[in-house]
Amino acid sequence: MTATRNVAIVGGGQTNWGERDATWKDLAQEGGKATFDAVPAIGPENVEGLFVGAVQPERFANQTHVAPLVAELLGIEVTEMTARTELACASGQAALRYAWLAIAAGQLDTALVLGVEKMNLGREYMPEMQSSMSNVLDREFDGVNGLAAPPFFAWYAQRHMHEHGTTREQLSLVAAKNKSNAAKTDFAQFRSAIEPDEVTESPEIAPPLHLYDCSGITDGASGVILMSEEKAREVTDTAAWITGSGQSSMAGNSINNLPSFSGWPQARKASQNAYEQAGIEDPLGEIDIAEIHDCFSISEVIEYEELGFCERGEGGQFIEDGRSRLDGDIAVNPRGGLLGCGHPLGATGVSQALEVTQQFKGEVSRNRQVDDPTTGLIHNLSGSGSVHSVMTLARDPQ
C-alpha cells in the first residue's frame, strides 16, 4: 500500500493515568481538552473526522456507540467520518491507522484520534474486571480454561527461557528500565524508579513472572491531531510524519493456532511491511525511538527479536548489554512503556505515538529526552498475541 498524501501527527495531550476517580466520560473530556490545549491552532470546530479507540466500554462503562458520544462531549460536529475502533490492546493504533488512511486518501484534512479506557471499577469488582479481560481471548475455549494474561505470557517466558537460555535476571532488567523511565514521566501510573532485584523479589504471579513484570490495570485517555501536509505546515514546524504501517494476523484468535510460544512471526511480518513502506533497511541502525508493547517483561524481549533489533534468541542479551536504554543503540520505551505508564487498553497506542511526536519536538522531560531523534516506531500486540500492529514515524516527511 502506498499512501497518496503525506500525513502528520501535529501534537496531542493526555490525562494522568492510574486508578482514577473519574468516569469514562470524564476521561474522554479530560483527554480531549488536553489534546486541544496542546494544539491551540486546532479546536473542535476544525475536526472533520473522529476516531475513538476503546476496548470494552460496554462492560467497564455500560456504554456503547461511544464515538458519537465523544463528539458530543467535546463539542465536535463531525462532518465527514467517525468510528470507534476495537482491536483489544491495539485499538488505539487501529484508530491512528484509519485516520491516517482517510487523510492520505483525501477524505479528510484534519482528524482527532482519542483513546479512552476506564478499567478500575473498585476493588469489590476485581473478579468482574479480570473476567472482562479474558474477553480478548476466545472466551468459550481459552478464557474459561484460566488463560488470563499473566499465565498466558508466563508460557512464553518459560518457552523462551527453555529454547534460548533467557534468564530471570534479564526479565528484571526490562521491568526496571521501563519503570525507572516512567519515574521521569509526569502522567505515568507508576512513578518510582526500581532496581532489577526489586523486580525479582516482588510477589510471584505466574512463574516465572513476578508482580513488577506485569502491566497495571489503568484508567486514562490520550489524544492526537492528524493533518494533511498542507494543513500541518500551517500549524507546526515539527511533527511526526507517518511513513509506514503494517499489521499481521497469522493465527486467528485461539491459542491452538498460534505458530509459536517463543516468538511472534506476526510481528516480524507487520514490521517488515511497515519498514518496506518507510524505506527502512536496518531498523536497529535507522530507528531512534521504539515504543513497543511491554505488557509483560517477556514481551519486550521477544519484540527486540521480531522487530529486527537483534537475532532470534538474543533478546535477553540485548537488554543485558544495555542496548535498549535511553543512551543505547535504540531508545525503547522512553516514557516507561506499559510496565511503567500503565495500560489503559484503547489509549496505549495513541500515547505511544504522542511520545514519539513529543520526542521529535523536544517536549519531554530532559532526563528522558532522546538525543536528536528523527525516526520512531510504535508496536502493539493484541488478543492472544495473534495480531501485531506496527507504525513508523519520521521527523521529516518522505
What digits encode the pLDDT tens for the residues 282-297?
999 999 999 999 999 9
C-alpha grid cell, residue 356? 514519539
Q: Residue 116 — left, alpha, or beta (φ > 0 → left; ψ -120 to 50 → alpha)?
A: beta
157-185 mean pLDDT: 98
Q: At what angle do helices 265-278 and 297-306 cross, to 10 degrees?
A: 50
376-393 mean pLDDT: 95
C-alpha grid cell, residue 342? 500503565
Predicted confidence at residue 231, as pLDDT, reads: 98
pLDDT at 186 over 70: yes
Predicted confidence at residue 245, as pLDDT, reads: 98
**Chain position carrying cell 497518496:** 4
Return all residues near 61 (Cβ < 8 A) that are at least 6 apart: 23, 24, 25, 118
| Full set of structural domains in the chain with CATH | 7-122+218-235 (3.40.47.10), 147-216+243-394 (3.40.47.10)
Pairing relationship of beta strands 220-228 and 209-210 according to DSSP bridges: unpaired
pLDDT at 92 over 60: yes
* Active-site pick, 160, 343, 379, 388: 343
**Chain position carrying cell 521521569:** 184
292-307 mean pLDDT: 98
Average per-residue pLDDT in the chain? 95
What is the arrangement of strands in the sheet containing 81-85, beginning at the earlier edge strand?
81-85, 49-53, 110-117, 220-228, 7-14, 240-249, 387-394, 375-382, 289-291, 331-332
Predicted confidence at residue 293, as pLDDT, reads: 98
Which sign does the torsion angle of CA 178, 183, 188, 194 carry?
Answer: positive
CA angle 345, 348, 354 (to 5 degrees): 160
pLDDT higher at 256 or 396:
396
Furthest CA-CA distance within the chain: 56
**359 contacts 290 by C-beta, under 8 angstroms:** no
CA–CA dist 141, 119 (Å, integer): 24
pLDDT at 316 over 70: yes
Read off the pLDDT of residues 36-88 as tens digits, 9 standing for 90 and up: 999 999 999 999 999 999 999 999 999 999 999 999 999 999 999 999 999 99
190-199 mean pLDDT: 97
Residue 154 phi, psi (nearest 5): -65, -35
379-383 mean pLDDT: 95
pLDDT at 2 over 60: no
Pairing relationship of beta strands 375-382 and 289-291 according to DSSP bridges: parallel
- The one-character DSSP state at 89 is B
CA–CA dist 353, 9 (Å, integer): 8
CA–CA dist 39, 33 (Å, integer): 10
Predicted confidence at residue 252, as pLDDT, reads: 72
The per-type count for the chain, helices as H runs and strands as E runs, is 15, 12
pLDDT bucket at 383, cuts 50 / 70 / 90? confident
Return all residues near 243 (Cβ < 8 A) that are at least 6 apart: 277, 278, 279, 392, 393, 394, 397, 398
* Active-site pick, 89, 214, 295, 341: 89
Read off the pLDDT of residues 209-222 as tens digits, 9 standing for 90 and up: 999 999 999 999 99
- The one-character DSSP state at 384 is T
pLDDT higher at 2 or 187:
187
Question: Beta-carbon neighbour count of residue 130 at 10 Å?
Answer: 13
Q: What percent of the chain has pLDDT over 70?
A: 98
Read off the pLDDT of residues 329-356 as tens digits, 9 standing for 90 and up: 999 999 999 999 999 999 999 999 999 9
Reported as half-sphere exposure (CB side, CA atoms, 13 A), residue 383 has a value of 23
Read off the pLDDT of residues 94-152 as tens digits, 9 standing for 90 and up: 999 999 999 999 999 999 999 999 999 887 777 777 777 777 777 777 777 767 889 99
Predicted confidence at residue 3, as pLDDT, reads: 54
166-186 mean pLDDT: 98
**Chain position carrying cell 520512531:** 376
Q: What percent of the chain has pLDDT over 90?
A: 86
Predicted confidence at residue 343, as pLDDT, reads: 97
Instruction: Select from 86, 89, 70 the least CA-distant residue to 78.
Output: 70
Q: Is 89 a catalytic residue?
A: yes
pLDDT at 398 over 70: yes
- Burial tier of 397 (Cβ tally within 10 Å: 0-12, 13-18, 19+): middle
pLDDT bucket at 23, cuts 50 / 70 / 90? very high
CA–CA dist 327, 205 (Å, integer): 31
Q: At what angle do helices 91-104 and 345-361 cross, to 10 degrees?
A: 60
Instruction: Select from 365, 299, 376 the least CA-distant residue to 331.
Output: 376
